Amino acid sequence: MLDVRKMQVLRELARLGTIAAVAQAQFCTPSAVSQQLSALEREAGVALLRRSGRGVELTAAGADLADRTGAVLALLEEAGAALAAHRSELTGELRIGAFPTAVRTLLPGALVRLGAEHPRLELRVTELDPAQVPDALRTGTLDIALVHEYDYVPAEPDPAIMTRPLLEETIFLACSGQGSPGPDPVLASRALPWIVATPGTLCHLMAVRLCQAAGFAPRIRHYADDFAAVLTLVAAGQGVALVPELALADLPDGVTLTPLPALRRTLIACRRGAVAHPAIVAAAAAIDAAAADYLIVMASHRPAWPASGRQLAQPPSSSS
């Protein structure tokens, strides 16, 4: 009988390409990964890997097994979800991931609601960039997550992960003083220093691509991932920055916001096989309610902001 956990390691090798990368994603040593793959080969009775230079590559049999692993894992998770539906209450650990502005604005209300409605659920939150979420979901480090995508950085489809829209926000150009004149405020800011997120994050890529679409490369002076820090630097005259609407709860004095024709979209993500699990359904419902409540409060405090933002997506009628 093939061990499903070892099959998952093989699938990660097919996706990531090297044993070292798999070990990093699985938070273990390359030696441990090699041992699991060797054990899987013995269970399979055929060669799944072959040496290629200093690394390894999958044989035809290994590639075939890796391709089938996703469907096997999804079926097992669906079976677990069906069994959980027969329990009288939700128990156990629920691991939730979210990007920083969602942790600060949307998640607290959802956690309070989940804790009140399902007191035996043990809620664990991890703050991380959306670029890290697919690996965390795929390896089981997270069960459900809030991610985002930008107009200039669309999410890559992943057959193992299900997403659905939650809300969308206006993106603003934040600067000190009177703002950037002209019909294209981004282009008008080409000579100014920019404050952007750390390379490798979606926010960094969005800023670079938006400037490239305007015909220039940003002159980056500062790197900061926390939008409160970004806005503080903007207020101090250190540069301009792109800031989504959820990050504007505590806007410093001296910062001018110019709405841009670009949106950031927040989505709920989970493994495809877990989408009907009662704990995932409950968490998604709590996040929906918390987002609706937060947007009402935000609208009352920011009546002058454009109506194009703060839109709440309607949850689907089914979890298919």
169-263 and 92-165+265-300 share a CATH fold: yes
Residue ranges of domains in the chain: 4-84, 92-165+265-300, 169-263
pLDDT at 36 over 90: yes
pLDDT of the residue at 189: 93
Among 263, 308, 307, 309, CA closest to 150: 263
DSSP H helical segments within the chain, as ranges? 4-16, 19-26, 30-44, 60-84, 100-105, 107-117, 133-138, 185-188, 202-213, 227-235, 278-301
* Higher pLDDT among residues 15 and 243, named by residue: 243
Strand partners, 244: 171
pLDDT of the residue at 265: 94
At 297, is the pLDDT very low, low, confident or very high (cuts 50, 70, 90)?
Answer: confident
Sign (positive/negative) of CA torsion 265, 266, 268, 270?
Answer: positive
pLDDT at 303 over 60: no
Please give the span between the terminal C-alpha atoms of the chain, in angstroms, as a whole number.
31
* Alpha-carbon span 246 to 168, nearest angstrom: 10
* Higher pLDDT among residues 154 and 312, named by residue: 154
pLDDT of the residue at 313: 44
pLDDT of the residue at 307: 36
User: 169-263 — its CATH code?
Assistant: 3.40.190.10
Beta strands in 157-211 (DSSP E): 161-176, 193-196
pLDDT of the residue at 179: 58
At 203, is the pLDDT very low, low, confident or very high (cuts 50, 70, 90)?
Answer: very high
* Alpha-carbon span 18 to 13, nearest angstrom: 6
What is the topology classification, in CATH, of domain 4-84? Arc Repressor Mutant, subunit A (1.10.10)
pLDDT at 315 over 80: no
pLDDT at 314 over 90: no
Q: Are 275 and 84 a contacting pair, CB within 8 Å?
A: no
pLDDT of the residue at 182: 65
**What's the pLDDT tens digit per position in 52-70?**
888 899 999 999 999 999 8
Greatest mean pLDDT range, 82-86, 182-186, 265-269: 265-269
**What's the pLDDT tens digit per position in 121-180?**
999 999 999 989 998 998 889 999 999 999 888 878 888 899 999 999 999 999 997 655
CATH 3.40.50.1980 fits 92-165+265-300, yes or no: no
% of the chain beyond a pLDDT of 70: 92
pLDDT of the residue at 311: 41
Query: Which two three-digit tokens encode residue 234?
Result: 């903007």
* Alpha-carbon span 7 to 9, nearest angstrom: 5
